[in-house]
Amino acid sequence: MREQALRGGERYLPKLKEQGKLPVRERLDLLLDSGSLVEDGLFANSLAQDLPADGVVTGLGRIQGREVAVMANDPTVKAGSWGARTVEKILRIQEQAARLRLPLFYLVDSAGARITDQVDMFPGRRHAGRIFYNQVRLSGRVPQICLLFGPSAAGGAYIPAFCDVVIMVEGNASMYLGSPRMVQVVVGERVSLEELGGARMHCTESGCGDFLVPDDAAAIQLARDYFAYLPQNHTLAPPPIESREPRAAAKPIGELVPLEPQRGYDMRKVIEALVDEGSTLVIKKLFAKELITAFARLDGRVIGILANQPMQKGGVLFGDSADKAARFIWLCDAFNLPLLFLTDVPGFMIGTDVEKRGIIRHGAKMITAVSEASVPKISVIVRKAYGAGLYAMAGPAFESDCVIALPSAQIAVMGPEPAINAVFFNKLAELEEPERTARRRQLEDEYRQDVDLYKLASNLVVDDVVEPERLREQLIKRFAFYSARFEPPLDRKHGVPPV
């Protein structure tokens, strides 16, 4: 009986191979250190010949020597669908992860609930809804990492939604509340599975996916790499490793950042010149590209980086980029990852379309996350910080441990040209050329003098003006000092975020 349970649904293995998928136990062999899995519930539903382990493997194991909990659907057993014992096994491993304060990995490949078993697994106190309740209760206490190898359908789509990160296999992974057939029947829309809930769509448009990978093995390796940046639970710090210098061939920051505020450049190269070589892991790379969110190491210590990307839409913040930022800040704050903001932002996007989509609400969400974060925060004004963009990128008013400016930095409500237009448009319109052009130049020069960087520094708006070649050294020293930061929680139940 043990061998039968371990084999899973053998007759479906050819179909798995055809899809480019690995069997569930091969997935676990790649994820976990060799021989470390201690499994529970192997004989669940053992009297049913076609339901080995009831379609899910649960247990404890180790990744690079660190203890973790795992839940893995077996797609060879009724397409990884959930029955009553499936749900009970998932609940028990969640409860064990909570008791032991262990990270929980969800290896998802499931067609959802078995309709024939719905009375026994859907509506009750220890039925499927409890899985999501447990995920919410675990959130911020232990890392929850989802590897999505196949479908995650209907209510089951909320398992990845409640995880800290979702890694999706292109061509196989999908998540959706209603299937294409159901969508056609209910709303009359003809749509393919990929368009409705495919991996690429979720990683580029909805933002529900964080990483898009080509196959199961790549998903598993990425999950192991991602986990290396996180602690076991919220009471600990991520494990440090030996420091490395930035990539030797990286161009100096001073040569990367143009002085002209409107000229584009690649902020990824600035990050590369700052952090330890090979240590950057970009999260949501394909979604809201105007903002970079990434884990990296600085002198061996893990940090979270939020950086405006002038190469994408000028680095302007949109609703999606604000959402992306808020979630990343909450994640880093939950697991004690210091935050580095690399600011080159013209502000939030304006216009009818974004206002209708709630840009103010989304921006307020990002500013809420910045305000709530109690981990060390350093804001570096790389080139420009205009309008509420300064606030969203942890400017001086937001309890940053320091605000550093590069000599190229500009801090203002807006740039000189739009500012002069806003204030003096009518008066300038009354002048004839070339007097109008000369007067405009004069007013813009006066504006620049008013927001001169060293004038701002003299008023303690910025804490230091640092030459680009000294920035890494400054960040290393400052983060080392700020690691002792302690901020007692506010005396309240919780805030009411503008979501």
203-250 tens-digit pLDDT: 999 999 999 999 999 999 999 999 999 999 999 999 889 999 999 989
C-alpha 99/C-alpha 93 separation (Å) is 10
What is residue 239's predicted lDDT score, i.e. its pLDDT?
Answer: 85
Closest among 325, 229, 297 to 475, alpha carbons compared: 297
Strands (E), 406-469: 410-412, 464-465
> Lowest mean pLDDT: which of 58-67, 96-105, 146-155, 465-474?
146-155
Give one word for 269, left, alpha or beta, with left for phi > 0 and alpha for psi -120 to 50: alpha
Report, as an integer, the average pLDDT of 22-49: 93
Report, as an integer, the average pLDDT of 101-121: 92
Report, as an integer, the average pLDDT of 307-324: 97
Return the half-sphere exposure (C-beta side, CA atoms, 13 A cut-off) of residue 239.
Answer: 9
In angstroms, how far is the first alpha carbon of the chain from the final one? Answer: 50
The position carrying tokens 């808020």 is 326
Looking at the chain, the whole-number percentage of residues with pLDDT higher than 90 is 80
Report, as an integer, the average pLDDT of 14-40: 96
Report, as an integer, the average pLDDT of 84-94: 96
C-alpha 55/C-alpha 480 separation (Å) is 47
What stretches of 228-294 show up as alpha helix (H) in DSSP? 253-256, 267-274
The CA–CA distances, whole Å, from 357 to 202, 346, 350, 393 equal 19, 20, 11, 21
Cβ neighbours of residue 68 closer than 8 Å, sequence gap 6 or more: 32, 60, 61, 62, 102, 103, 104, 105, 227
45 pLDDT band (50/70/90 cuts)? confident
> Does the structure show a pLDDT above 80 at 345?
yes
C-alpha 28/C-alpha 52 separation (Å) is 17
445 pLDDT band (50/70/90 cuts)? confident
C-alpha 330/C-alpha 494 separation (Å) is 14
Return the half-sphere exposure (C-beta side, CA atoms, 13 A cut-off) of residue 93.
Answer: 27
C-alpha 250/C-alpha 257 separation (Å) is 13
Pairing state between β 377-386 and 410-412 = parallel
Mean of the per-residue pLDDT values of the chain: 94
Q: Are 338 and 375 in contact (CB under 8 A)?
A: yes
What is residue 433's predicted lDDT score, i.e. its pLDDT?
Answer: 87
> Does the structure show a pLDDT above 80 at 8?
no
Distance, C-alpha 439 to centroid of its chain: 47
Burial grade of 139 (CB within 10 A; 0-12, 13-18, 19 or more): middle
Both tokens of 427, joined, read: 């008066």
Beta partners for 258? none
> Does the structure show a pLDDT above 80 at 7?
no
Residue with the larger pLDDT of the pair 216 and 1: 216
Side chain identity, residue 379? S
Q: Is 251 helix (H, G, I), strand (E, B) or coil?
A: coil
Report, as an integer, the average pLDDT of 381-389: 96
Q: Are 351 and 375 in contact (CB under 8 A)?
A: no
What is residue 1's predicted lDDT score, i.e. its pLDDT?
Answer: 66
C-alpha 120/C-alpha 114 separation (Å) is 10
What is residue 222's predicted lDDT score, i.e. its pLDDT?
Answer: 98
C-alpha 2/C-alpha 39 separation (Å) is 12
C-alpha 73/C-alpha 63 separation (Å) is 19
C-alpha 194/C-alpha 250 separation (Å) is 38
The CA–CA distances, whole Å, from 278 to 161, 234, 243, 274, 336 equal 29, 26, 11, 11, 22
What is residue 324's predicted lDDT score, i.e. its pLDDT?
Answer: 98
Cβ neighbours of residue 1 closer than 8 Å, sequence gap 6 or more: 43, 46
Closest among 256, 310, 320, 317 to 286, alpha carbons compared: 320
Report, as an integer, the average pLDDT of 41-59: 88
> Does the structure show a pLDDT above 80 at 125?
yes
Closest among 46, 116, 121, 65 to 90, alpha carbons compared: 121
φ/ψ (deg, to 5) at 494: -170, 160
> Does the structure show a pLDDT above 90 at 443?
no
What is residue 451's predicted lDDT score, i.e. its pLDDT?
Answer: 84
Looking at the chain, the whole-number percentage of residues with pLDDT higher than 70 is 100
Torsion of CA 24, 27, 33, 39, to 10 degrees: -10
